Structure 1
Amino acid sequence: MVANARNLLRHALEASGTPAGSLILVACSGGPDSLALASVAAHTARSGEYRVGAVVVDHGLQPGSAAVAAQAALALTAMGLEPVGVRAVAVDGRGMGPEAAARTARFEALDAAATDLGASAVLLGHTLDDQAEQVLLGLARGSGTRSLAGMPAQRGLYLRPFLGLRREETVEICRFEGLQPWYDPSNADPSFARSRVRTQVLPYLEDQLGPGVARALYRSSRILAQDADYLDQLSLTMYDDLHVADGADILLAEDGLRSLPPSLRQRVLALAAVRLGGEQPSFERIRAAETLLERRGSAGPVQLGGGVSVHRQVRGKSVPQGDPSYGSLVFRNNRVLPPAVGAAPSKPSGAIGGFTGRPGRP
């Protein structure tokens, strides 16, 4: 079991192109998953393959959290990891749920630690069970392919080498290594949807459908991740072909949008909103934007979230490509001041970045 975990870590580092001898950081809460990952990573440090440090993020959400973080740091130091640091964060829940707020604060701390220490990679201890829970939550929300693909094995500096490992295996690794993990009480708190999935929904499905449900959900996530990657790349190509920058606005040619299959058209529409600094639009908002292409009823605007709206270009507005006429959907960030009159429209060259549905976050 330990040997398999070491192979998973080695494969993740090699596949990501993490340079040998560079510093990698383990994000560790002191729980069994991240503690097991730290012990496996410590082996690569002892063998001289990589330098391995760790970051413990103290969210300050529970009594005694500082003591838990300090104990985790001591355990990591005892493994031989260096440097080991504790970063206390303030979780601001305004405008988002407590889980999302904690995740945002945690990744901000990890981003800062990686920058400060010059780390080549940050290891996260999510397991196959976490991935299965993520897929179920996506299904419950009625999400699309990207969300159902779950957590990526790699995004930027962040690697999840244990996505193929069961949670019970990380507990066994801790037992084998003589480690004493901390168990987060919030993982069993029924007020959190993820906790209910973990303690009630998945066990029920395993009982009713057989013990392979979690692994089947994980397998589905891998298949969907490949599909989502391919569709996202195609949509980026289509976006680059169709969009025109008109000052601070983005214009998308209607004829080109109509020619796309729905799966690509909806991604291109969402990509325009994200590129303007908006939120990832819901499926309902994207469908409302699509109705503008039918040229029946209102010309908009349709609010897509994050201050971004889209409307249909009306007759008489000069279109950068072609005669004054109908022709484009106009995306606008209403929180940005318009450019000076007479500013020349331009079309930037090259891709700006892949559409992920949740920009900037692993």
Structure 2
Amino acid sequence: MVALAPSVAAARLAVRRALTGLAGDGPVLVACSGGADSLALAAATAFVAPRLGRRAGLVTVDHALQAGSDQRAAAVAAWAASAGFTPAEAVRVDVAGRPGGPEAAARQARYQALVEAARRHGAVALLTGHTRDDQAETVLLALARGAGPRGLAGMPPRRDLSGVPLLRPLLDVTREQTRKACAALGLSPWEDPHNTDPSYARSRVRADVLPALVRALGPAVLDNLARTARLVAADTAALDALAAAALAPPDPAVLADPAAAAGGAGGPTPAEVRVPGGGLSVEALAGLAPAVRTRVLHAWARELGAAPAALSHRHVAALDALVTDWRGQGATHLPGGIRVVRRAGRLNAAGPIA
């Protein structure tokens, strides 16, 4: 009996953990570019899913940005069909005209196509091949860009993508392990030239920054960066929960007896943040911890209609200044022409600019 390669075992174990307990009886859909990470994920899923009573499908996205990309996509789909994936399809997307740089535009087009494929096939989850190395790169890029805790939390192992669960089973598996898994299984990964293109920030981090950190601090730096993301993600989730509770609609019992709801503490209760007639109480906001208050303001700004992609730290800081640095300043302007003013001890939306 031939011993199972440790790299193959690691990938299969990671996929089993991700799929165990998954709700629904539809298939899982693997997003596969043909690179080592997603190919190792696909091979592991093809092995694990049937043993859990789950059908597995595969979608590869052709961004049409490189010569021969259609042939590469067709080859990946053909391999998937031979490996037992149903469905096994290649989808072409149009990247031109989308907002952001080429990398952001390609990512947006890819995920849109994946979500549409998942809905079309009734998939209960999408699986992507992001590895521990990808997580370390994400944390470094977030740090360099001055991102807050949400950015430093990196990529979550599971998140909602337009109503479809997106799973990243390989976040504890290294890029080297995925390459070894492919070699052990006789698979030939495609090497995406964009991964070594220095015009992309992630490529520069991959080729120069991370190797320099490993040389200076040792190989454990990759694990430490990924662990930092997990720790920050846990703290961020707790703060987000506190903010959601603070912004929840007032409980009638709290409105009837605020002192009893506060446990006699005499401070503002979460339910006091929203005030009758709309808006937020400045006094209650001021009583919240800064990390919770800024989250409340960010969530409220989105409620008012500010587009998440356009809502920045600068906008939230301006809202916070209406609470903590009040000098009689005028309205704070949010994306979408929304204005927020402070009047009579509350923050109110003043509507779009005429």
TM over 0.5, shorter chain: yes
In structure 2, the CA distance between the partners of 1:130 and 1:306, relative to structure 1 (3 Å rule), is farther
In structure 2, the CA distance between the partners of 1:244 and 1:194, relative to structure 1 (3 Å rule), is farther
Match in the other structure for 1:259: 287
Question: Which of 110, 117, 127 is the aligned partner of 1:113?
Answer: 117
Match in the other structure for 1:14: 20
Mapped pair 1:131 → 2:135 = yes
Counterpart amino acid of residue 331 in structure 1: A
Mapped pair 1:61 → 2:91 = no
Deviation at 1:283, TM superposition (A): 2.1
Mapped pair 1:198 → 2:202 = no
Contact kept in structure 1, 2:19 and 2:49, CA below 8 Å: no
> Structure 2 CA distance, aligned partners of 1:139 and 1:245?
40
Match in the other structure for 1:47: 51
Match in the other structure for 1:272: 300
Match in the other structure for 2:254: none
Contact kept in structure 1, 2:39 and 2:182, CA below 8 Å: yes
SS in 2 for 1:260: coil
Contact kept in structure 2, 1:251 and 1:328, CA below 8 Å: yes
More deviation in 92-101 or 195-204?
92-101
Deviation at 1:46, TM superposition (A): 4.5
In structure 2, the CA distance between the partners of 1:334 and 1:81, relative to structure 1 (3 Å rule), is same
> Structure 1 CA distance, aligned partners of 2:208 and 2:70?
30
Deviation at 1:48, TM superposition (A): 5.7
| Count of residue correspondences | 318
SS in 1 for 2:247: helix
- State, as a whole percentage, how many aligned pairs show the same letter: 46
Match in the other structure for 2:87: 83
Counterpart amino acid of residue 256 in structure 1: A
Question: Which of 340, 345, 350 is the aligned partner of 1:310?
Answer: 340
Contact kept in structure 1, 2:336 and 2:352, CA below 8 Å: no
CA deviations on 1:212-269 (whole Å, 9 max, x unpaired) are 11110000000011001110011011112323586xxx61111111111110111111
Counterpart amino acid of residue 99 in structure 2: G
Question: Which of 171, 176, 197 is the aligned partner of 1:168?
Answer: 176
Structure 1: stretches of 5+ with no match in the other structure: 314-325, 338-362
> Structure 1 CA distance, aligned partners of 2:73 and 2:95?
16
Q: Could you tell me the TM-score, scaled by structure 2's length?
A: 0.85
Contact kept in structure 1, 2:50 and 2:56, CA below 8 Å: no
Counterpart amino acid of residue 275 in structure 1: E
Deviation at 1:10, TM superposition (A): 0.9
In structure 2, the CA distance between the partners of 1:332 and 1:200, relative to structure 1 (3 Å rule), is farther
Structure 2: stretches of 5+ with no match in the other structure: 1-6, 249-270
Question: Which of 304, 310, 329 is the aligned partner of 1:298?
Answer: 329
